[in-house]
Chain A
Amino acid sequence: DAGITQSPRHKVTETGTPVTLRCHQTENHRYMYWYRQDPGHGLRLIHYSYGVKDTDKGEVSDGYSVSRSKTEDFLLTLESATSSQTSVYFCAIQGERVGETQYFGPGTRLLVL
């Protein structure tokens, strides 16, 4: 398995509270991604990073922010959690070689009450 960990693995929080999810990699890969997975929607890209301090929005970025201060860590923050952000969140990493695929972390289950 690619060296990707996510923390926490499970979290229950209340509406309106900020939440930060962490993705940590040991592969030194340049590209990192945050997805959410909901029934009937597959995986949808939230934000991604193409280098330290270089990030951009994905398909469903409203209500989320990210930061990447070092290669190995990519943080996803829900600024004020809402029940619609209850989901499973996956981080993925990808190297720069042509044809390199994305490898996914174990996921974080977030429940917003």
Chain B
Amino acid sequence: EDKVVQSPLSLVVHEGDTVTLNCSYEVTNFRSLLWYKQEKKAPTFLFMLTSSGIEKKSGRLSSILDKKELFSILNITATQTGDSAVYLCAVAPAGFAGGTSYGKLTFGQGTILTVHP
């Protein structure tokens, strides 16, 4: 059974701090790892990581994947109150687009990030 574990489960910081969120996984056939942000509504896509060691960056957010050690981290620098959200990690199984297993994501429990002013 595929398994995704996120840590910490919750985190409280002050504006300007840097945070690191962790995601470890055990997946039979790995294709990619995805990060989503959820703010009291639908999850919104942040990053998709497929290759080890290649950092993906978007503004103050960045993420990297280690396929040997089976984990990913999501970094947020200079946090703002608007970063307060649940951050979800998910893994996607190998399979070709058009295949029946395509897109069967397994999610972690999420990390609740609270940023105080």
Contact = CB atoms under 8 A, between A and B. Distances in A.
Nearest to B44: A104
A48 B103 contact: yes
B43 A58 contact: no
Interface string A47-84: 01010001010110000000000000000000000000
Task: Using C-beta atoms within 8 Å of the partner chain, give the interface range for chain B.
Answer: 20 to 34
A94 B103 contact: yes
A113 interface: no
Contacts of B103: 31, 33, 48, 94, 102
B98 interface: yes
Given A42-B88, A42-B108, A101-B34, A50 B102 contact: yes
B100 interface: yes
A90 interface: yes
Contacts of A43: 43, 88, 90, 105, 107
A31 B90 CA distance: 17
Interface in B90-117: 90, 96-100, 102-110
A108 B34 CA distance: 23
Interface string B20-47: 0000000000001010000001111100
A26 to B, nearest CB: 16
A90 B90 CA distance: 15
Contacts of A12: none
A99 B88 contact: no
Contacts of B13: none
B48 interface: yes
A50 B110 contact: no
B45 A103 contact: yes
A104 B102 contact: no
A105 B105 contact: no
A90 B43 contact: yes
A99 B97 CA distance: 9
Interface of B: 4, 6, 32, 34, 41-45, 48, 50, 88, 90, 96-100, 102-110
6 contacts: A45-B105, A50-B99, A96-B98, A96-B102, A99-B48, A101-B34
